[in-house]
Structure 1
Amino acid sequence: MASNLGVRLTSYSPVVLSLFRLVYGLLFAGYGSISLFGWPVRTKFFVGFWSWPGTYAGLIEVTTGLLIAAGLFTPVAAFIASGEMAVAYFWMHQPQALIPIADPPQGNGGALAILFCFAFFLLVFTGGGRYSLDAVLRARAAGRMRRT
């Protein structure tokens, strides 16, 4: 019974991986949009185009988030996004406190940075999945290779 469930769940892996990639990419792009434009909501993360670290971080988040959501150049975009989140954690959160889960002063509030970092790190190795623009480009390239 358990192995049958495992087989059935495994058959959904391509869909779930693509859904995971889409959701995480859109969330990441959303955080970048908030920091750059204050849209769709204005929060404490809004820095606008005038703050150099915030501007670069926001541009990286919007660009890589949209690429990841679409599944285009997923491993490269995910590597950059994962690295940005690692830098954000160690530069901004970790110096405040050791515990990432709680907000300051008890913790450093870095749990979200860690979650993004490792989710994107996973996508570096799994790629965009079956339902991605990367898969479409691979299929087209394979079709051209067969015709020649």
Structure 2
Amino acid sequence: MTRAELETVWAQRLLGVLRIVAAILFIEHGTQKLLGFPPSERPMPELFTLLWFAGFLELVGGLLVLLGLFTRPVAFVLSGQMAVAYWMAHAPQSPFPALNGGDAAILFCFIFLYLVAAGPGAFSIDAARDGKAVA
């Protein structure tokens, strides 16, 4: 495998895998908030509360990122959501992410921010629509 092949073919494939895995994990947070699955100790949020909107963004935005549809604008919104979630919900508990449970929010924030810059990678509707699908 040449360096050029790594940079052109495999980089896009692995970017696609990163997008898909992050989206699946993100969707799980949305289904937990909105559908109660997987079961949580927290009650499901009331309709149209901040937590409900967070779950809605996680579920719908996660599905769009999973499909690679409108990836850049959706990832921008989700990155912002995770930054707000970290500073509103996690940071007040402790300055250390390992203690405040904010590790996932930080990682999602920066993965989505990376997708804004890098695009969806392979295996996405956006790439297929733009004629950049990688086999």
* TM-score of the superposed pair, with normalisation by structure 2: 0.87
Q: Distance in 1 between matches of 2:56 and 2:44?
A: 12
Answering whether residue 104 of structure 2 is matched by residue 112 of structure 1, we say yes
Cα contact 1:129–1:135 (8 A) shared by 2: yes
Deviations 1:16-74 (A, max 9, x none): 111111111111111101111111x1113552444611210000000110010100000
- Paired residues, number: 131
- Is there any run of 5+ residues in structure 2 with no aligned partner, and where? none
1:78 lines up with 2:75 in the alignment: yes
- SS of the residue aligned with 1:72? coil
1:91 to 88, 103, 109: 88
Unaligned runs of 5+ in 1: 102-106, 141-148
Instruction: Give the fraction of aligned pairs with identical amino acids, expressed as a percent.
Output: 37
Alignment RMSD, CA only?
2.0
Q: TM-score, normalised by structure 1?
A: 0.80
Q: Which has the larger radius of gyration?
A: 1
Of residues 51, 72, 82, the one that matches 1:54 is 51
**In structure 1, what residue type is equivalent to 2:121?**
G
Given that 1:34 and 1:46 are in contact with CA atoms closer than 8 Å, whether structure 2 keeps it comes out as: no
User: Aligned partners of 2:110, 2:42: CA distance in 1, in Å?
Assistant: 21
1:132 aligns with 2:124: yes
